[in-house]
Amino acid sequence: MNLIRKKIKFDKKLIDQDALNIVKKMTNSGYETYLVGGCIRDILLGYKPKDFDIATSATPEQINKLFKRSRIIGRRFKLVHIMFSARKFIEVATFRAGNLKTSSDGLVLRDNYYGTLKDDVFRRDFTVNGLYYDINKSEVIDYVGGLKDLEILKINMIGDPSERFEEDPVRMIRAVRFQAKLNAKIESKLIEAIQKNSQLLAKIPPARLYEEVIKLFHNENSIVVFRELFKLGLLKHLFSQTKENSFVTASLINTSERIKSGNSVTPAFLFAVFLWSPLNKRLSQISKKNKSRIELMLEASEYVINQQTQQVMMPRWLSSRVKDVWLMQYQLENYNPKKSKTLIRSPRFRMAYDFLVLRSESIDKDVKAKAEYWTNIQK
């Protein structure tokens, strides 16, 4: 692939002022520095970037020296965070060479981990994520055909798809996420490679998949993501117990709507929904002898959550919130009017109520009157 440098003037308002200042300061200090990745992709497509990543020839120590409010993070891959407020930081990464280069007998030929701009390009995942922007020249630097793929809305791998998925199987779910986000198509070779390699996801630590799962579903197109994951055979490696039903569909659409209108979302809600049918299935299977309703519920939820965390981690706060939502369904369905006001004041009420309403509108239409009771009593 040939190097393309294309003059594209961005509306400077689209670029974060702090990111712009970092690049200027670093360039002035003699370091080759670019904006890179998702932010360039999003600006070129007319979306507002979520964050601005910077790639540079400066080492983490050199970056750290230039910026007073910065800190080096990570041990294996060092990165620098430049802080702008308690919540805002910008990540600056030194150009990185891809994997170790080894000869046929496994000997390490090159283990330097920092690299040149070109090395940095080829370790990235998709062509649309491999674009760099030179602020001084107002030029996009494209080694991988990313500009063309952005134009035709194709998710294409940099390098050989199977190899790159083996190297990092999380790229398979990233492909699905970007397909939905950009309204793009995944290149057919990638689709084949995903279908062939989907089981590699089982190798990924559940903690990393937790982060990825949140990104998969907390966005404006989560229903597209869900269906595509299912179609490609990836869903069973993330949520083996979950199948689409009207409740799952409704909650994914609801989550996206909330995000569109700027409301907060919590992963607890989606996990509770995804595992609701598995929970009820388990409840119908276990022996009921000499057990209270709460004991049964806890036993079934332990089982379902245990199954789930083999694949995707659920931090303790999350699983306990999920259990609360489930346990409260019974209280909401079998209410004692005298105690309603107390229940409403519980910090867990809101989510349990939203859960009940969504159930009543999808798979559990018979609880409609009960959901209405709780709606009216809050008026």
Query: Would you name the residues annotated as active-site residues?
Result: 51, 53, 125
DSSP bridge pairs for 110 = 101
For residues 340 and 164, give the distance between their C-alpha atoms in angstroms, rounded to a whole number. 55
Gap between the Cα atoms of 91 and 19, Å rounded: 9
Q: Is 191 in the site for ligand ATP (CB under 6 A)?
A: no
Instruction: Tell me the site size for Mg ion, rule CB under 5 A.
Output: 2
Binds 267: which of ligand ATP, Mg ion, none (CB < 5-8 Å by kind) = none
Which of these segments, 45-53, 65-73, 75-83, 292-300, binds ligand ATP (CB under 6 A)?
A: 45-53
Which of Mg ion, ligand ATP, none binds 142 (CB below 5-8 Å, type-dependent)? Answer: none
Count the alpha carbons within 13 Å of 112 in the hemisphere toward its beta carbon. Answer: 8
Determine, following the binding rule CB under 5 A, whether residue 38 of this chain makes contact with Mg ion. Answer: yes
Compute the chain's Rg from CA coordinates: 24
Contact 121, 158 (CB under 8 A): yes
Helix (H, G, I), strand (E, B) or coil at 157: strand
Give whichever of 43 and 232 is closer to ligand ATP, judged by the CB atom.
Answer: 43
Q: Output the smallest distance, CB 308 to ligand ATP, in A.
A: 23
Q: 151 touches which of ligand ATP, Mg ion, none (CB within 5 to 8 A by kind)?
A: none
Q: Which does 170 bind (CB under 5 to 8 A by kind): ligand ATP, Mg ion, none?
A: ligand ATP
Query: Binding marks (x or -) toward ligand ATP, 196..235, rule CB under 6 A?
Result: -------------------x--------------------
- Spatial CA neighbour of 44 closest among 183, 147, 156, 174: 147
Interacting span for ligand ATP (CB under 6 A) from 1-9, 46-54, 99-107, 142-150: 46-54
51 part of the interface to Mg ion, by CB under 5 A:
yes
Q: How far is CA 290 from the centre of its chain?
A: 43
Residues 117-146, interacting with ligand ATP (CB under 6 A): 124-125, 129
Under the binding rule (CB under 6 A), the answer on residue 171 touching ligand ATP is yes
> Nearest Cα to 59, choosing from 85, 89, 39, 30?
30
Least separation in angstroms between CB 96 and ligand ATP: 10
Locate 114 and state its tokens. 């920092």
Minimum Å distance from CB 53 to Mg ion?
6
Nearest C-alpha neighbor of 14 from the set 55, 66, 62, 52 = 52
DSSP letter (8 states) at residue 363: T
Residue among 170 and 191 whose Cβ is closer to ligand ATP: 170
Rounded distance between C-alpha atoms, residue 156 and residue 148, angstroms: 11
Residue 94's beta-bridge partner residues? 56
Side chain identity, residue 56: T
Binding segment toward Mg ion, per CB under 5 A, in 48-56, 223-231, 280-288, 289-297: 48-56
Q: Which is nearer to ligand ATP, 129 or 242 (CB)?
A: 129
DSSP structural state of residue 117: H
Max Cα–Cα distance, the chain, nearest Å: 76
**Binding residue for ligand ATP, selected from 51, 119, 134, 212, defined by CB under 6 A:** 51
Q: Which is nearer to ligand ATP, 125 or 149 (CB)?
A: 125
Helices 170-182 and 222-231: crossing angle in degrees, nearest 10, is 130
Compare residues 215 and 236 and give the one whose CB is closer to ligand ATP: 215
The token pair at 326 is 């489930």
User: Site residues (CB under 6 A) for ligand ATP?
Assistant: 37-38, 50-51, 53, 124-125, 129, 168, 170-171, 215
